[in-house]
Copies of this chain bind each other. A is one copy, B any other.
């Protein structure tokens, strides 16, 4: 635990920053008493906490510009924050820094059913966009499981996905344009409504940059028609290898399901007693595979999917026949994280990717790691796009368990890299996985990231020490690992 909740700044410095921000922001928009700043001490990765020196709550783009100029002039680091639902500590405060919350920038500025776009401020909740578009039978596709709370600004920062991203893409595939404010206080628009835009495509580089390049003030999102129908197949397998191969076979058959999820036996047994979704708790793996679109298309696709599962050795297959049943099938998957909280005092949700063909191999490797670390792990996968969410179960009150869980998680991620995958699928790097970046990328690649970062933010005031490790950090991490005698990594480091 890294519970540095005590003040780590001088009162004079705090006073200086507060006064300067108060001069440009309305009353009540600058928080600094510990009782007011406490809610900002962590994001969804709650094991890591840090009370910020100051919290600023601008309510307009002009106020964002003014607040950033103050911070730049005083050289105080800024951590931008959406709803704080992130799972990699990207919004964890800095002791001597300002948290800039976009909570008050919460208006939907334009809803255009004709061009199928909406322009929203960053503090608008993900689900609120779809709710507002519903009258036009449109919706915003990316659906992180936190969508009721998380905001589009945070989604842009983390390039968030969801169970439907296999077919409909991540945030980067559904955002057409952003307005953002640089650390210099300049307003810049990136992207546009046309398919291509002249100039360098910095929109994609900004999306997923975890608040390190600027603060977003407007997001133009793409809306898509709500599918007329959706049906889901639930297929059981008596063997994780068969389940993993079934996923690969679906994709190889030319089908892009609206969602293709996998749960192992630990997960379904964890969920079923609480949710009663009808899961086959004897199966080693369950797949949920959805089709959406026009009714005829859906029926035909469901038939093709069913054939593939049968040929892949499914031991049982059920297909939802109405919307209530579809939601019931999904309810187990959607409640996997809360269910983990009910059987274990704590859980650590990992997020890595692998090539689909290695799904079974990773499951077998994780089973070995469970023995090594003496901790259970429930596996919930966005299987269709090879994105894993192993939930490592532990008890933070048992000395050493959190540390073991952390090591377990790091080993899973390094195994993902070894399999040709990556250390994050949709939760971002944040502070949590910054060391793993040293394993993922070469020195030249990190140099390229750092060059872009310093082009936008030469003093490194925007969310410093997140997402992209410095070369010094990687060198230290490499030494530490070698000392610990972990051979796999000793082979891997590219520094």
By a beta-carbon cutoff of 8 Å, the part of chain A in contact with chain B is: 113-116, 159, 161, 165-166, 169-170, 172, 182, 184, 186-190, 192-205, 207-209, 225, 248, 251-252, 254, 294, 296-297, 300, 353, 355-357, 385-387, 420-426, 428-429, 433, 437, 440-442, 444-449, 451-456, 467-468
B202 touches A448 (CB 8 A): yes
Least Cβ distance of A143 to chain B in Å?
14
Q: With A198-B428, A198-B440 given, can you name 18 additional A-B contacts, CB distance below 8 Å?
A: A115-B356, A172-B196, A182-B448, A188-B444, A192-B422, A193-B355, A194-B422, A195-B425, A196-B422, A196-B425, A198-B422, A198-B433, A199-B429, A199-B449, A199-B467, A199-B468, A200-B452, A451-B455
| Cross-chain contact B202 with A203 (CB below 8 angstroms) | no
Return chain B residues, CB-CB under 8 Å to A202: 205, 448-449, 452
Q: Which of B195, B209, B441 contacts A165 (CB 8 A)?
A: B195
Given contacts A200-B468, A207-B201, A452-B202, are A115 and B442 in contact (CB under 8 A)? no
Residues of B within 8 A of A209 (CB): 200
Distance in angstroms between the alpha carbons of A223 and B12 in the assembled complex: 60
Min Cβ gap A199→B in Å is 5
Q: Which residues of B lie under 8 Å from residue A447 when comparing CB positions?
A: 186
Q: Which residues of B contact A199 (CB under 8 A)?
A: 429, 437, 440-441, 445-446, 449, 467-468
Contact B200 A208 (CB under 8 A): yes
Evaluate contact between B442 and A188: CB separation under 8 angstroms: yes
Given B161, B188, B248, B423, which contacts A195 in the complex, CB threshold below 8 Å? B161
A209, A357, A449, A452: residue with the most chain B Cβ atoms closer than 10 Å: A452
Q: A114-B248, A225-B254, A455-B454 are in contact. Are A194 and B421 (CB under 8 A)?
A: yes
Partner of A205, one of B201, B423, B441: B201
Residues of B within 8 Å of A204, CB to CB, are 172, 201, 203-205
List the B side residues contacting A166 at CB < 8 Å. 195
Give the complex CA separation of A349 and B2 in angstroms: 62
Say yes or no: B425 contacts A194, CB within 8 Å: yes
Of B197, B201, B429, which contacts A198 at CB under 8 A? B429
Bound: A287/B194 CA distance, A:
20
For A114, list chain B residues within 8 Å (CB).
248, 252, 357
Residues of B within 8 A of A387 (CB): 194-196
Pair B445/A188 contact, Cβ less than 8 Å: yes
A–B complex contacts, Cβ < 8 Å, 23 sampled: A114-B248, A114-B252, A114-B357, A115-B355, A116-B251, A159-B201, A161-B196, A169-B195, A170-B195, A170-B196, A189-B442, A194-B385, A194-B386, A194-B387, A195-B353, A195-B387, A196-B387, A199-B441, A202-B448, A202-B449, A204-B204, A225-B254, A294-B300
A410 vs chain B, min Cβ distance (A): 14
- Please name the residue on chain B nearest to A436 by beta carbon: B198
Given contacts A205-B201, A205-B204, A294-B300, whether A196 and B159 have CB atoms under 8 Å apart is yes
